[in-house]
């Protein structure tokens, strides 16, 4: 009976092969997958105990054939086939860039990232991991930033149950081998996220380390990348983030463990190894990366100013010519660090500012907890007030007729009546004005006198939408609540 795989799902086949020596370094396995004139090369990987695997994500319906190549005679020249059928409901495929500054699934459905950060949630207890998934299921978040490696930092001092390499902190690690159990656990959690409709923005390297994973040397880094991509590239809900805070990989003498040339080299390995061209980015701390580089698909940005971040979304779009995802605009919370104690109102404001200005903003939460279980790293439960407001915004963004595009204005031009307000448009007949922390009691709008418009006042904090009676045209005055966090939506009446 022919194997059947739905479009954008995972075809996987297991082979028995050599187990002696070190198969991770001594055995090579790949396959060529063919569909008509299409040929795609895929690398296999060793999964321990004499098991080898090949994974492939078909993006065309119909009959696919494959043939293996291997340095091991028992794995070489194996042929097979499978049928790819139409994807089922809920399977929209991987996310791609759309219209230069936005995103969509492979089937054409628009995708608007409303992400959160849980760096080390997969390294916590099984009970806490399940609670995290339950919380995510009820949340507005459709993307999560998370690390492959465990994390060592404030509030993060416990040892994980598993390590990516054989060994221990006391005896050291064998970087020439991998622990398949570690990566199988990672895969399980990626699939758990997929079932919830959540994209996994996977952080490949990070500097918060006490195990030596941030400075393994070029040869080990490259072997790790090839193994990771071979295992995971067939998962459709995957994004590659080369690093969290790439500019903080420092040795004791202050020198860089990896300069930008090295990051580019590593990123090109991921790009070349991934047959399914998942989204790729890299994340900064103090210094923005050059996201205009060809391997970067979208800008992944942490704030570089204590106060102003989301306000730069339109400017960064112009600089990089790519989607702008502000993955870290600071965290709602109350911890001692300056990046982790903004109130929920400010988190919600930054989301609105970024979205209306044509970007996408990420959430994080760091509230003091009696057992140091902070969402930003451990997961668990959300305690803040911003997630439900983010859900309200997400509903507005997803129900607009098109992705929001910023209306660029000359700075502080008194001749432009909208110089002081964030303004985004979704097509000619849809405008969204956001006043942020300003609190005007009224506003005068000057629109096309030949058209009629519907006006709605949105209280983004109270999460209410009030439509004004009648229709409006030309120059007109709108009475406003005179409080912060108000938006006005004006749509043309056909």
Q: Is 229 part of any domain? A: yes
387-403 mean pLDDT: 98
Q: Are residues 269 and 375 in the same domain?
A: yes
Q: CB neighbours of 247 closer than 8 A, spacing ≥ 6?
A: 256, 284, 285, 286, 287
- Residue-level pLDDT at 306: 87
- Residue-level pLDDT at 340: 97
CATH of the domain at 433: 2.60.40.3950
Rounded Cα gap, residues 272 and 269, in angstroms: 5
Q: Are residues 107 and 27 in the same domain?
A: no
pLDDT at 411 over 60: no
Q: Are residues 17 and 99 in the same domain?
A: no
Q: Are residues 467 and 380 in the same domain?
A: no
Q: Are residues 391 and 415 in the same domain?
A: no
Q: Are residues 263 and 319 in the same domain?
A: yes
> Domain of 107?
95-398
pLDDT at 412 over 70: no
The pLDDT tens digits for 419-478 are: 889 999 999 899 999 999 999 999 999 999 999 999 999 999 999 999 999 999 999 999
Residue at a domain's end among 398, 433, 449 = 398
- Mean pLDDT (the chain, rounded): 96
Q: Is 115 part of any domain? A: yes
Q: CB neighbours of 483 closer than 8 A, spacing ≥ 6?
A: 439, 459
Q: Are residues 68 and 110 in the same domain?
A: no
The pLDDT tens digits for 163-188 are: 999 999 999 999 999 999 999 999 99
Q: Are residues 357 and 473 in the same domain?
A: no
Residue at a domain's end among 335, 366, 398 = 398
Give me the number of domains the chain comprises: 3
Residue 236: which of 132, 140, 134, 107 has the closest Cα? 107
Q: Is 61 part of any domain? A: yes
- Residue-level pLDDT at 252: 86
Q: Are residues 308 and 386 in the same domain?
A: yes
Q: Are residues 355 and 466 in the same domain?
A: no
Q: Is 90 part of any domain? A: no
Q: Is 104 part of any domain? A: yes
The pLDDT tens digits for 298-340 are: 999 998 888 889 999 999 999 999 999 999 999 999 999 999 9
Structural tokens at position 267? 């990123």
Mutual angle of helices 386-398 and 344-356, in 10-degree steps? 20
pLDDT at 251 over 80: yes
Residue at a domain's end among 398, 427, 445 = 398
- Residue-level pLDDT at 254: 87
Q: Is 66 part of any domain? A: yes
The strands making up 324-328's β-sheet, listed across from edge to edge, are 299-302, 324-328, 360-361
- What 284-289 contacts at long range (C-beta under 8 Å, 24+ apart), as own/partner pairs, is 284/245, 284/246, 284/247, 285/245, 285/246, 285/247, 285/248, 286/247, 286/248, 287/247, 289/246, 289/260, 289/263
CATH of the domain at 250: 3.20.20.80
CATH of the domain at 13: 2.60.40.10
Cβ atoms of 14 and 95 closer than 8 Å? no
Residue appearing with tokens 């079932």: 195
Q: Is 469 part of any domain? A: yes
Residue appearing with tokens 């108000």: 486
Q: Are residues 123 and 27 in the same domain?
A: no
Q: Are residues 242 and 179 in the same domain?
A: yes
Percent above pLDDT 70 for the chain? 98
Q: Categorise residue 470: left if φ over 0, alpha if ψ from -120 to 50, beta otherwise.
A: left
- Residue-level pLDDT at 15: 97
- Residue-level pLDDT at 192: 98
């Amino acid at each position: 009976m022919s194997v059947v795989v739905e479009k954008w799902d995972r075809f996987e086949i297991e082979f028995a092969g050599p187990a002696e020596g070190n198969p991770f370094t001594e055995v090579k396995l790949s396959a060529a997958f063919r569909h008509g004139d299409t040929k795609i090369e895929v690398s296999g990987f060793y999964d321990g105990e004499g098991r080898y695997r090949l994974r492939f994500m078909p993006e065309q319906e119909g009959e696919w054939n494959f043939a293996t190549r291997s340095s091991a005679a028992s794995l070489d020249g194996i042929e097979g086939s499978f049928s790819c059928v139409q994807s089922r409901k809920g399977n929209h495929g991987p996310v791609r860039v759309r219209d230069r500054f936005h995103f969509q699934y492979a089937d054409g459905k628009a995708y608007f990232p409303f992400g959160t950060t849980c760096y080390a949630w997969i390294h916590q207890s099984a009970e806490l991991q399940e609670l995290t998934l339950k919380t995510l299921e009820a949340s507005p978040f459709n993307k999560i930033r998370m690390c492959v490696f465990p994390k060592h930092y404030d509030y993060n001092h416990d040892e994980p149950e598993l390590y990516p390499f054989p060994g221990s902190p006391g005896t050291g690690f064998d970087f020439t081998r991998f622990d398949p159990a570690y990566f199988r656990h990672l895969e399980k959690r990626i699939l758990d996220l997929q079932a919830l409709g959540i994209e996994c923005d996977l952080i490949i390297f990070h500097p918060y380390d006490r195990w030596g994973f941030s400075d393994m040397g070029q040869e080990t880094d490259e072997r790790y990348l090839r193994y990771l991509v071979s295992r995971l590239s067939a998962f459709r809900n995957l994004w590659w983030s080369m690093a969290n805070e790439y500019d903080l990989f420092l040795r004791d003498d202050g020198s860089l463990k990896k300069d930008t040339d090295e990051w580019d080299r590593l990123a090109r390995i991921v790009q070349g190894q991934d047959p399914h061209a998942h989204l790729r980015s890299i994340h900064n701390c103090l210094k923005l990366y050059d996201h205009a580089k060809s391997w970067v698909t979208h800008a992944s940005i942490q704030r570089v100013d204590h106060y102003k971040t989301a306000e730069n979304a339109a400017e960064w779009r112009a600089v990089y010519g790519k989607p702008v995802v502000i993955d870290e605009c600071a965290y709602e919370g109350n911890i001692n660090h300056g990046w982790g104690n903004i109130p929920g109102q400010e988190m919600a404001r930054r989301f609105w500012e970024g979205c209306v200005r044509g970007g996408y903003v990420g959430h994080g939460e760091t509230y003091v907890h009696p057992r140091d279980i902070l969402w930003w790293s451990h997961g668990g439960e959300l305690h803040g007030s911003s997630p439900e407001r983010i859900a309200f915004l997400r509903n507005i963004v997803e129900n607009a007729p098109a992705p929001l595009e910023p209306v660029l204005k000359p700075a502080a031009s008194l001749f432009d009546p909208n110089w002081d307000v964030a303004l985004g448009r979704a097509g000619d007949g849809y405008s969204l004005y956001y006043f942020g922390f300003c609190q005007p009691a009224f506003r005068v709008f000057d629109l096309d006198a030949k058209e009629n418009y519907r006006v709605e006042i949105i209280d983004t904090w109270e999460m209410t939408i009030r439509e004004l009676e009648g229709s409006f045209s030309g120059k007109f005055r709108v009475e406003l609540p005179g409080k912060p966090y108000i938006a006005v939506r004006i749509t043309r009446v056909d």
